[in-house]
Chain A
C-alpha cells in the first residue's frame, strides 16, 4: 500500500468475502516497562472484519497490549517488547518496518476524545491525510464527507466544518470525530482503548453501533472495562489477567460457558 485510495465507495465495497482470514497474529508477545514485565507471552490471532473485545481488571495489561499493536508502547521511556506481531504476514516489529507506516495501517481511538484543539473539524478529519501529502481539495472534501457520514456526524456538523474547532463539539461528537480521523487514513485495523469510558450512556450506544458498523470494513480491537459492552458488540472476547492471556474465544461462548474458572469468576463479578 503506497497510496490511500481516494474512493468514496471503499467503505462498503471491501471484502465481506474476506471473512475468516487471519488479519493479525500476535506471537508470544512480552512487554516491559524497564525491567518489569507487564505482558507475559501472549499469543492470539485476530480475524479480519471481526470485533475483538479485550476485558480484564484494571492494570491487567489491556491498554499496554493494544498499544503494542500500533507501536505506541515503545514511545514510553524504558518500554520495550519481545515477540512478534504479524499483520498480513509481515512482522510489524521487523527491523525494516517503519513505525510510521505501521501506524498508518493500524489506527487508534483513545479513551478520552482528543481532537486537535488548534484545528477545525474538517482539518481534524484530514490531519493524517495531509501529513501524507494529500492536498487535493475536492478529494479531501469527498473523504471528509464520506468519513463523517460513516460516523454519523455529517448532518450534525455540516454547517460548521471550517467554522468550529474539533473541541467545540460535545463529548460524544468529539469521540465520533476522533473515529472519523482514524478511519480517514483507511487503516486495516482500528484499535480502541476504552472508547466510551468518558461518555454518557446515549453517546455510548451510538459509538457501540458505530463499532459494529465499522467491523464491516475494518478489523476492530477494543479494550473495554464494561463486560456488557463486550457482550453486546464483540465477535470474540479476550480475557487478560495480570499480563497473562487467560481465555480467548467467541464472545457468546466465553460469556456463557467459559473454560477457565478465573474467567468465570471475573465475568460473574466476583473480582475486578
Chain B
C-alpha cells in the first residue's frame, strides 16, 4: 500500500497540452494583473511623492505671512490664497451644510412617490454636473448682477456643488439606520419628528458628519467653479465682496506661468492643499471608520458620491 501511494501515474498527474497552456496562462495572468496594480499605484504615489518633495523644497515661512506680488519679488507668499480658500469654503459651508442636510432629511422621510423620484434624478444629475458649468452659471447669476468678482460668488458656486452631495449622503446615511430604531421610537409614543430628531438622526450623525466632511474636502480642491467667481488677485481679501485668489486657482495660474518663482509657489500651494484635503478625508476615515461604534456608516460610499460624482445608488434599509 505504502509503495502504491508513491508511484506517479503520468497520465493522471501530468498535464495534457491544454492544461499546461491553461496553467501557464494562469501564472502569466498573475504577473499581468500584478503589473497592472503596479502601473496604477506608481503614478498615484508618484504624485504624492512629487508634491511632498517639491512642496517642501519651495517652502519658506513667508508662505504663511506674505501675500502675492510680482514674480520677481522674492518675498511673496500664499497668505492671500489661503485666506481666499478659507473665505470661500466657509461661505460654501454656511449655505451648503444646513441646506444639504435638510434636503437629505426630506428625501429620506418624505421622498416617496413619482415626484420625489424626479427630484432625486435632478439631484443626481446636479452631483454629476461638470463644475466649470457651475462656475459660469454662478458668474451669470451673481458676478454679473453684483458687478464684480467676489469670494461670496465663489462660495456660492461651491455651495451649489456641496448641497447635492450632502443631500445624497445624508439620505443614504439615514437610510442605513435600521428600521427597528424608528419602530422603537414610535413604540415609545414618540412622534415622527421626535423619532427623527431624537433617535434616527443622532444615530446617523456619524454618517452625516462624514458626508459633510468629505463634501468639504471635495470643495476645497475645486478650481473650475472659482475661475470666474472668486477670480484671482495678489492681495488678501478684506471682506466677502472682495475678489481673491484661492489655493486651487493659484496653483493653476502659477503652474502655467513661465516664472520659476511662481512655479515653486504652485508646488507649495499644492502641498498645503493636499495636506488639508487628504487630511480631512483621512481623518474622516479614521474617526468614522466602518469598524466604529455605528456599523452603518459607509465612508467608501460617501467618497464615491463626493469625488466620483457617483450617483443613483440606493442601499436598502436594513431590516
Contacts and interface: CB of A to CB of B under 8 A. Distances in A.
B16 A2 contact: yes
A216 interface: no
A3 B19 CA distance: 11
A98 B23 contact: yes
Contacts of B15: 98, 101
Interface in B210-261: none
8 pairs of A and B residues whose beta carbons are closest in the complex: A133-B18, A2-B16, A89-B4, A97-B13, A91-B5, A96-B13, A90-B9, A90-B12
B8 interface: yes
Interface in A1-28: 1-3
B8 A89 contact: no
A75 interface: no
Nearest to B20: A98
A98 B16 contact: no
A198 interface: no
B22 interface: yes
A100 B5 contact: no
A2 B8 contact: no
Interface of B: 4-5, 7-9, 11-16, 18-19, 22-23
A168 interface: no
Given A96-B8, A98-B23, A100-B23, A90 B16 contact: no
A100 B9 CA distance: 16
Interface string A85-103: 0101111001011101100
Report, as a range, how many residues of chain A touch the other chain: 10 to 19
A112 to B, nearest CB: 21
- Give the most central of B7, B11, B14, B19: most A CB within 10 Å: B19
Given A84-B5, A90-B8, A101 B22 contact: no
A192 B175 CA distance: 40
A204 B9 CA distance: 39
B268 to A, nearest CB: 45
Contacts of A132: 18-19
Contacts of A133: 18
Contact of B5 (A1, A2, A89): A89
A86 B5 contact: yes
Contacts of B16: 2-3
B13 A98 contact: yes
Contacts of A131: 22
A84 B5 CA distance: 9
